[in-house]
Amino acid sequence: MSKFKNHNQSPDLLKKKYIFQNKMYSLIKYHSKNSIDYGNFIKKTNYDLKNKKLELFPFLPVRIFKEKELMSVDNNKIVRVLQSSGTTGSKPSKIFLDEENSRNQIIALNEIFKQIFKSKKRLPMLIFDKKPNRNDSNFNARLAAIHGFSLFGKDPLFLIDEKNNIKVHELDKFLLKNKSKDFLMFGFTSIVYEHLIQKEIIKNMNKEFSKGILIHGGGWKKMENLKISNYKLKETLKKNYGLKKIYNYYGLVEQTGSIFFECEKCSNFVTTKYSEILIRDRHFKILGKNKKGFVQLLSLLPSSYPGHSILTDDIGEIKINKECECFFKGTQFIIHGRVLKSELRGCSDTI
């Protein structure tokens, strides 16, 4: 009998999990050795460094990156500092990247992008944001996303001016030039909603976006406050602009590069060979499929800082849709939103 045989998961998924957990185990040992803070965390949690079971791997609460500057390389090797966008008055997370970590993030994102969009060439690109200052080594989550996705487009047009208005004349020229070929559109969800739906300026101009491929993510807290669901947003964009390809993505600045795209067919997010997800209850016990709990994200990409296993403030649920062969044949899941006034205690007190 195959050691990957299971009635709930395919052989491909179980094989991927087996390979993933071995690589994750190596990362745990590496960060334990190279990060003093993380090494202390491992000692205080009494984690057995000989244990290779994925469900028993230790995790850091996401808020610890707001409180500690965690690194697994010498400070003089850091080339970029990413910061979470954060809410007003809150302290942002700080993520420290060296050249190797930055390079691996781009490689992973490139591989994920190409497998989903099947494009061998860079496409013209509209970005629903202001043009960033690329000379700044300190990036927030928004700028990091813009930087990452703009690598896959060419001649990007930043659509929003300094007064937060759409550059109508530039948009006209872009659409005239690219009306008969595919082009990319990218923006934070709340910004896309504001300019394509809420303000209705573009809608009233009868702009045609049927050849556009929209990628959006983040900013969902604002959307939840407005009572706008992902489904409602998607249907409105299709109706108003003729958009046929809309991709929502999920990810954390604490694990930049390890992102999860929504499957076009089943609408679930899907893990890749670089990532995995577990769901835990309030006592940190593992939950099975179709049960809501705290999202634990695991990634093979963080090497300059111990961000490989993080317990988030998000509530999610693992789903299994046997009828859909998603992009990467990974774990399917959905996100329900963020815990109100969340503050995960217990594990962070050991650092």
Position 346 in a domain:
yes
In a domain, 1, yes or no: no
Is residue 35 included in any domain, yes or no? yes
Two structure tokens written together for 233: 């947003």
Helices (H), the chain: 11-34, 36-44, 64-67, 99-117, 141-150, 168-177, 189-193, 201-204, 220-225, 230-241
Structural domain including 25 reads: 11-350
Q: With pLDDT > 70 as the criterion, what percentage of the chain qualifies?
A: 87
pLDDT at 59 over 80: yes
Q: Which structure tokens are listed for 83?
A: 């910061």
pLDDT of residue 128: 93
The pLDDT of 283-304, averaged and rounded, is 96
Mean pLDDT, to the nearest integer, of 207-214? 85
For residues 60 and 72, is the Cβ–Cβ distance under 8 A? Answer: no
Instruction: Tell which residue, 283, 288, 302, 292, has the closest CA to residue 331.
Output: 288
In 3D space, the residue among 68, 44, 90, 52 whose CA is nearest the CA of residue 307 turns out to be 68
5 — pLDDT class (breaks 50, 70, 90): very low
- pLDDT over 60 at 152, yes or no: yes
1-10, 149-158, 256-265, 273-282: lowest mean pLDDT where?
1-10
User: Per-residue pLDDT tens for 232-275?
Assistant: 999 999 988 888 899 999 998 999 888 999 988 888 999 999 99
pLDDT exceeds cutoff 60 at 283 = yes
Q: Residue 144: pLDDT above 90?
A: no
Q: Please report whether residue 178 resides in a domain.
A: yes
Q: Let me know if residue 2 belongs to a domain.
A: no
Q: What is the pTM of this model?
A: 0.86
CB atoms within 10 A of CB 134: 11
| Confidence at residue 137, expressed as pLDDT on a 0 to 100 scale | 58
| Domain-located, residue 43 | yes
Across the range 312-320, mean pLDDT stands at 93
Q: How many domains does the chain have?
A: 1
The CATH code of the domain that includes 106 is: 3.40.50.12780
Q: What does the pLDDT read at residue 2?
A: 30
- Nearest-angstrom CA–CA distance, 246 and 233: 10
